[in-house]
Amino acid sequence: MEPHSGERAPPPSSGRGRVEGPARPIGVFDSGVGGLTVLRHVRAVLPAANLLYVADSAHAPYGDKSAAFIEARALAIAEFLVERGARALVVACNTATAAAITVLRSRFELPIVGMEPAVKPAAEATRSGVIGVLATSGTLESGKFAELVQRHGSQARVLVQPCPGLVERIEAGDLDGPQTRSLLAACVEPLLAAGADTLVLGCTHYPFLMPLLRQLAGPRVAIIEPGAAVARQLARRLAETGDALGEGEGSERFYSSAEPARLEALLPRLWGRAAAVAPFVSGR
């Protein structure tokens, strides 16, 4: 979770689809479907909020792309969400947070909450003194992650594990097939063999693999995903800015930069119910 800071410029002035007050939506985005694991916590904490979700699935995975590319994507998506009246943004992607949250906060004057691997809670919780962080190469190689480990990693040995190929399996809806299982096993087993008793899910796609992870890691290993903490942080930020939380039942609108039918086919499984998906088309 990212603390909020810094001076910000006014947001772009476009008012397409603008509504006022608590009906104004909260914009959430990820390189693809991973951010849905955060969106479900946002929905639980803010039942009345109207939510906009952008899956940049045409460009997933972000994990092996340059920081400059991810920054450009994040700016285009944030602009799209702000144009649709967003009163807050959740960067529901560790890789995009590492690459772009600083520039997003400098461009948009609204609460922006990001993700970061939960190294601090893991370092506090471990009994073996070894924690394993599963994340994309982009996250693990970022300056932000190095700072995080420097700040909180002195209490524990921090092992890092990129998992190339895993996000693609999840984007394809394969949460428990043999390919996903063997990729995940190859990521997790070295961490367990090195004595990790706490695993940090540093990519928002990975909570979809929780049942498989549980089987591989066994019941004694703690698995930490920060989605709930991020949703609570968002609610705090909205409360601080005096934003009413609204009443009744909120709505969700989904957008994808890939063929919308692809996400529509996945939503019943990954979101728990069917919903229409509109195309995400960036003005940039």
Give CA–CA dist 161/137, Å, rounded.
8
Give CA–CA dist 276/133, Å, rounded.
35
Q: Is 163 a catalytic residue?
A: no
Rule CB under 6 A: say whether 57 interacts with ligand DGL.
no
> DSSP string of 129-154?
SEEEEEE-HHHHTSHHHHHHHHHHGG
Instruction: Give how many residues touch ligand DGL by CB under 6 A.
Output: 18
Q: Residues 274, 86, 114, CA angle at the centre, nearest 5°?
A: 85
Determine which residue in the list 25, 27, 29, 30 makes contact with ligand DGL, applying CB under 6 A: 30
Binding region for ligand DGL (CB under 6 A) out of 45-53, 58-66, 149-157, 212-220: 58-66
Rule CB under 6 A: say whether 63 interacts with ligand DGL.
yes
**Catalytic annotation, pick one of 92, 93, 98, 200:** 93
Q: Give Cα 88 distance to the centre of its chain.
A: 15
Binding region for ligand DGL (CB under 6 A) out of 31-39, 103-111, 151-159, 267-275: 31-39
Rule CB under 6 A: say whether 123 interacts with ligand DGL.
no
**Catalytic annotation, pick one of 52, 203, 231, 270:** 203
Q: Which contiguous run of DSSP H or E holds residue 169?
A: helix 166-171
Determine which residue in the list 139, 180, 233, 257 makes contact with ligand DGL, applying CB under 6 A: 139
CA dihedral 30, 36, 42, 48 (to 10 degrees): 110
| Sign of the four-CA dihedral 219, 222, 227, 233 | positive
- 171 token code pair: 């984007």
Residue pointed to by tokens 């990212």: 2
Binding mask 98-117 for ligand DGL (x = CB under 6 A): -----------------x--
Rule CB under 6 A: say whether 95 interacts with ligand DGL.
yes
Rule CB under 6 A: say whether 94 interacts with ligand DGL.
yes
Determine which residue in the list 34, 132, 162, 250 makes contact with ligand DGL, applying CB under 6 A: 34
- Residues numbered 200 to 239 that lie near ligand DGL (CB under 6 A) are 203-205
Give CA–CA dist 96/104, Å, rounded.
10
Q: What is the Rg, in whole angstroms, of the alpha carbon atoms belonging to the chain?
A: 18
End-to-end Cα spacing for the chain:
28
Determine which residue in the list 50, 57, 136, 256 makes contact with ligand DGL, applying CB under 6 A: 136
Q: Is 93 a catalytic residue?
A: yes
Instruction: List the beta bridge partners of residue 253.
Output: 52
Q: Give Cα 102 distance to the centre of its chain.
A: 16
Identify whether the C-beta of residue 49 lies closer than 8 Å to the C-beta of residue 25.
yes
Binding mask 166-205 for ligand DGL (x = CB under 6 A): -x-----------------------------------xxx
Binding region for ligand DGL (CB under 6 A) out of 91-99, 236-244, 258-266, 275-283: 91-99
Q: If you count them, how many residues does the chain have? A: 284
Determine which residue in the list 27, 29, 31, 36 makes contact with ligand DGL, applying CB under 6 A: 31
Residues contributing to the site for ligand DGL (CB under 6 A): 30-32, 34, 60-63, 93-95, 115, 136, 139, 167, 203-205
Residues taking part in catalysis: 93, 203
